[in-house]
Structures are given as structure tokens and as C-alpha cells.
């Protein structure tokens, strides 16, 4: 792992645990257990650090989303349930960081632009997989399905609905949504 990636990962962890106000170059140095000044050497400005986080989150998505490749919608639901469960457990910090950045991007157009591009890329990957599973109007349905997953993850992590969903319960919810979206 390169030093830039190491710092971006530490920044994700710091943002998830400390929030936007707690995300400083020094805090990231502490999280990464690097000498003071290391983060600012690689990412001179706050925007550069925020952009590194966005880019790293997008990189994770680019690896994880294609792994959903379905043979049919049942297999797609199975794979999506496993992925969402990962996001809710071992990937929880990444999701929290994503939500922090999403809110921040509503006030910072320079941060919003990469989010819009990343979101479109993710929805296109989901649309391709739905199309491969034989779903018509895959682009529109990918938008709905992606919004559903976003809402499900948000509710589980930050909302009032925290239920500790198992892979099996997630599979049922995702299958129901796929049935609704594709009918």
C-alpha cells in the first residue's frame, strides 16, 4: 500500500470517528501513526485531503460493486446482501465517512463534483449487472435500487432503525426491493 493510500485510509477512519470537525492533518497523522506533518506533506490542503478520501471511497466501490455480477436476480440479491452486510460491519467506517462527506459536499461544490461522477459510475455498474440479469430499463431501476441500498445502509448505521441486520434478513429485503423494481 502506498503512503498516499495509507493516509487516505487513515483519513477515512478519522472522519468516521471524529466527524468533519475532527478531521485535521494532525489527527490523520495520529490515526496512521505517522510523524506529525506527514499528512500535510502528501495532502497540502484540507480540500486535497477530502478529495483523497472521496477517491479512496470510489476505489473501494470500483472493486466491490463489480463483484455483484449476477447470473440471475436471486444470485444478485445474495451477493448484494453479503456486500451490504460488509458495509454495515467491517466497512462501517467507510460508510460513516461517505455520509459525512455527502453532507459536506452540499456546501462545497468542488467536493460535490467528484461525488456526482462517482455516483453515476456506481449506478452504471449496477445497471450493467441488472441488464445482465435480464432486467429491462436497467438504468432507471439501478437508480431506484441504489437509492434503496443507500437508505438501508444509512438507516442501519445512523438512523433510528438500527436492527443489526443479518445477511439473511438483508437478502430478504434486497430480494423484495428487486422484485418491486423489476416488476
Q: Rounded mean pLDDT of the chain?
A: 90
- Give residue-wise pLDDT tens across range 112-166: 888 888 888 888 888 888 888 888 899 999 999 999 999 999 999 887 766 778 9
In a domain, 81, yes or no: yes
Question: Are 112 and 54 in contact, with CB atoms under 8 Å apart?
Answer: no
User: Would you state the pLDDT for residue 46?
Assistant: 94
Quote the domain boundaries for residue 169: 51-182
What total number of domains does the chain contain? 1
- Kindly state whether residue 36 falls inside one of the protein's structural domains: no
Residue 16 in domain: no
Whether the CA torsion 90, 111, 162, 165 is positive or negative: it is: negative
| Calpha distance 174→180 (Å, rounded) | 10
Give me the phi and psi of 107, to 5 degrees please. -105, -10
Q: Alpha helix locations (H) across 66-166?
A: 73-88, 92-105, 109-132, 138-157
φ/ψ of residue 43, rounded to 5: -130, 95
Could you tell me the CATH number of the domain that includes residue 75? 1.10.357.10
pLDDT tens, residue by residue, 23-34: 999 999 999 999
Cβ contact 53:101 at 8 Å: yes
Q: Check if the beta carbon of residue 130 is closer than 8 Å to that of residue 145.
A: yes
Q: What local confidence, expressed as pLDDT, does residue 70 receive? A: 61
d(CA 15, CA 17) in angstroms, rounded, equals 6
Please work out, in degrees rounded to the nearest 5, the angle formed at the alpha carbon of residue 161 by the alpha carbons of 115 and 125: 35
Please tell me the distance from the alpha carbon of residue 161 to that of residue 157, in angstroms, as a whole number: 8
Q: How far apart are CA 175 and CA 117, in angstroms?
A: 27
How many other C-beta atoms lie within 10 A of the C-beta of residue 76? Answer: 23
21 within some domain: no
Kindly state whether residue 88 falls inside one of the protein's structural domains: yes
Tens of pLDDT along 38-61? 999 999 999 999 999 999 998 888
Amino acid at each position: 500500500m502506498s503512503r498516499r493510500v495509507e493516509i487516505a485510509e487513515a483519513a477515512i477512519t478519522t472522519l468516521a470517528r471524529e466527524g468533519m470537525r475532527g478531521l485535521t492533518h494532525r489527527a490523520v497523522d495520529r490515526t496512521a501513526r505517522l510523524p506529525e506533518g506527514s499528512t500535510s506533506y502528501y495532502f497540502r490542503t484540507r480540500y486535497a485531503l477530502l478529495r483523497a478520501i472521496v477517491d479512496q471511497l470510489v476505489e473501494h466501490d470500483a472493486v466491490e460493486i463489480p463483484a455483484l455480477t449476477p447470473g440471475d436476480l436471486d444470485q444478485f440479491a445474495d451477493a448484494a446482501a453479503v456486500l451490504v452486510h460488509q458495509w454495515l460491519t467491517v466497512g462501517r467506517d467507510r460508510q460513516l465517512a461517505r455520509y459525512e462527506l455527502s453532507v459536506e459536499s452540499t456546501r462545497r461544490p468542488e467536493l460535490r463534483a467528484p461525488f456526482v461522477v462517482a455516483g453515476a459510475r456506481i449506478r452504471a455498474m449496477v445497471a450493467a449487472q441488472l441488464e445482465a440479469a435480464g432486467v429491462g430499463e436497467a438504468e432507471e431501476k439501478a437508480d431506484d435500487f441504489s437509492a434503496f441500498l443507500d437508505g438501508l445502509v444509512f438507516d442501519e448505521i445512523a438512523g433510528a432503525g438500527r436492527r443489526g441486520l443479518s445477511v439473511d434478513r438483508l437478502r430478504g429485503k434486497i430480494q423484495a426491493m428487486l422484485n418491486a423494481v423489476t416488476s
